[in-house]
Structure 1
Amino acid sequence: MSIRNFIISILILLIMVGCSKKPVIDLSATPQEEFSRAMDLFQAKNYRQAAVAFQNVVFNFPGSGYAADAQFYLGESYFLKKDYQSAIPEFEFFINSFPGNQYLEDAYYKLALSYFKSAPTINRDPSIIEKASEVFELLEERFPETKYRDEITQIRREIAGLWAEKQYRIGELYYKGEEYNAARIYFGFVQKEYPQTRWSDMSVFMTGRILEKTDSTSKAIDIYQTLISEPNDSTVVQLAKNRLAELQSQK
Structure 2
Amino acid sequence: MSYKTAQIRLVSSHPEVYEPCDDSFALVDALLSDRKHLLEHKPVLCMEGLWKWLCYYFFDTLLGDDANGAQFIATDINPHAITVTRETMEAHGVHAELINTNIMSGLESRLAGSVDLLVVNPPYVPTPEDEVGREGIASAWAGGENGRSVIDKILPVADKLLSERGWLYMVTLTANNPSQICRQMMKKGYASRIVVQRSTEEESLHIIKFWRDIDLEVDANNGVMNSEPVSPGILHSVRSQIQRLLFWGGSDINAGTN
TM-score band, normalised by shorter chain: under 0.3
Structure with the larger strand share: 2
Higher Rg: 1
Structure with the larger helix share: 1
The TM-score normalised by the length of structure 2 is 0.23
More relative contact order in 1 or in 2 (CA 8 Å, sep 6+)?
A: 2
The TM-score normalised by the length of structure 1 is 0.24
